[in-house]
Amino acid sequence: MANYRWRESPDIIARLVNADKIQTLSSQQVMLKPNEACALIVDGRIGDILTETLLKSMAGGFSRWLGDKMGVTATDRRLLFAMTGPMDYWIPFDGQIANGEKVSGFANLRLRMELDDVPKLLNYFANNAPILNREGLIKILSDEVKARVVTPSLAMCEDYSELRSGQFLERFEMSAEMGMRNLLSNLGFTMVKAFPVTNPTDMELVQKHRAAIEAQTAGNQVNTEAQLAHYSQTEALTLARIEMETNVARAEAQGKVTIELESELKELRAQEAKWNAQLTFEREKMEIRSDEADAKTKRAMDMFEQVQARKADRIAKQQDFQNQRMESQNQFQKDMLELAAQHGALSPEVIQELLKQQTAQKAIDGSGEETNSDQ
């Protein structure tokens, strides 16, 4: 069994079909979806309104053809198909706000249809083609939307900033619901949602242009600063590289000088070692000579001390000898004087002679001491 398609385009809203136009010898069926409805109109009377069902043999078939021939069926049989689900309708408009600035955009109306309101579409089809699409409904609603909704709403906006406010959206929706209620009710539609979409105004474009220029200027400034920073970094890197190369060259030159200095230092150290060896040798020789001189001096001192000790011993012995001799002589003279006195021979001449002998003996002892002292 073949299916009959009443909606060939998404823009089709409703269609009034004359059942006589689709008579065929083969039966057809119609599948109604949840958002589709069909009102049966028989001989000018509205019958059942169906949805979510499968209509079989509604528009023809051999039984319908045979019934028409026999005059059994109705003379006028029509099917009114309609979309009941919500659909959006974009209505363009041009206007101006309170300060005279022009505003353009679209008024979006979201409409749906109740099953009981589907037969109201006959008001439209009474004077129009049997097909109602989105464009046709927009033409019907356009003038009234502009006059009752768009113009009063825009007139209450002082400047473009109020077009973007939530209050303007609420005011627009309220105006649309109240101002379009009668027209939509006559056509069988119910408003679900209404809101405007306005294009950027001239002042907004100026602001956008100004913001773009400021952004571009700021971007150029940032790019300039970034470029300058890049140049500064490049300069710093170049200076660092030059400094590093200079340091490397200086280090290499210093390394060469260091090598030469080390070579000279090695020679100086060798010469110094040689001089130290010679100095050590000379110092040791001097120490040896000094030790020898000290040894000779010590020996001389020891010998001198020995000589002096022997001399002192000799002098002491000689002094003792002289003392003993003087004592002997004195005792002898004393004995002679006593003897002379005993014999009565003590006279001045004898005493004088003894004194002369004593003086001569002292003179001899004195000369002997001087001779010994010289030795």
CATH number at residue 154: 3.30.479
* Under 8 Å between Cβ of 119 and 46: yes
Of residues 65 and 153, more confidently modeled: 153
Work out the mean pLDDT of the chain and round it to a whole number.
79
Assess whether 79 and 160 both reside in one domain.
Answer: no
User: What would the pLDDT profile of 157-207 be if each residue is shown by its tens digit?
Assistant: 888 788 888 898 999 999 999 999 999 999 999 999 999 998 887 777 777
Tell me: do 143 and 100 sit in the same domain. yes
Closest CA to 154 of 198, 184, 203: 198
Residue 276: pLDDT above 90?
Answer: no
Are 88 and 108 spatial neighbours (Cβ–Cβ below 8 Å)?
A: yes
For residue 249, is pLDDT > 50? yes
> Which one is predicted more confidently, 91 or 233?
91
pLDDT of residue 368: 54
pLDDT for 356 equals: 76
By DSSP bridging, strand 2-3 and strand 28-31 are parallel
* Distance set, CA 133 to CA 7, 38, 47, 99, 115 (Å): 10, 16, 24, 38, 18
> What percent of the chain stands above pLDDT 90?
26
Q: Which domain holds residue 72?
A: 2-83
Tokens describing residue 24: 């065929």
Q: How far apart are CA 47 and CA 24, in angstroms?
A: 23
Is 2 exposed, middle or buried (CB count within 10 Å of its CB: 0-12, 13-18, 19+)?
exposed
| Phi and psi, residue 58, nearest 5° | -80, -25
- Residue 281's pLDDT is what? 79
- Give the separation between CA 179 and CA 175, rounded to whole angstroms: 6
Element (H, E) at 108: strand 102-113
Residues 148, 175 within the same domain: yes
Measured CA to CA, the distance from residue 79 to residue 7 in angstroms comes to: 13
Do both 174 and 99 map to the same domain?
A: yes
pLDDT digits (tens, 9 = 90+) for 337-373: 777 677 766 667 767 777 777 677 666 665 555 445 4
Tell me what pLDDT residue 59 has: 47
Q: What is the pLDDT of residues 95-125, one digit of tens each?
A: 888 888 889 999 999 999 999 999 999 989 9
Classify residue 238: in a domain, yes or no.
no
Q: Determine the distance from the C-alpha atom of residue 107 to the mean position of all C-alpha atoms in its chain, rounded to a whole number.
A: 49
Co-location of 41 and 100 in the same domain: no
| pLDDT tops 60 at residue 23 | no
Mean pLDDT of 233-242: 82
pLDDT digits (tens, 9 = 90+) for 290-313: 777 777 777 777 777 777 777 777
Shared-domain flag, residues 75 and 8:
yes
Do 107 and 55 lie in a common domain?
no
pLDDT of amino acid 185: 93
DSSP state of 61: S
Nearest to 108 by CA among 169, 28, 46, 60: 169
Extract the tokens encoding 50: 């169906």
The answer on pLDDT for 82 being more than 80 is yes
Asked whether residue 144 is domain-assigned, the answer is yes
Report the pLDDT averaged over residues 48-60: 70
Q: What is the 3-state secondary structure (H, E, C) of 235-254?
A: HHHHHHHHHHHHHHHHHHHH
Q: What percent of the chain has pLDDT over 70?
A: 81
Residue 191 CB partners (closer than 8 Å, separation 6+):
109, 110, 111, 176, 177, 180, 181, 184
Distance CA(34)–CA(32), nearest Å, equals 7
- The Cα 344–Cα 312 span in angstroms is 45
pLDDT range class, residue 25, cuts 50, 70, 90: very low
Residue 185 lies in a domain: yes
pLDDT band (50, 70, 90) for residue 5: confident
Overall domain count for the chain:
3
The total number of residues written for the chain in this structure: 375
**Which neighbouring-strand residues pair with 94?**
104
- 113 residue type, one letter: M
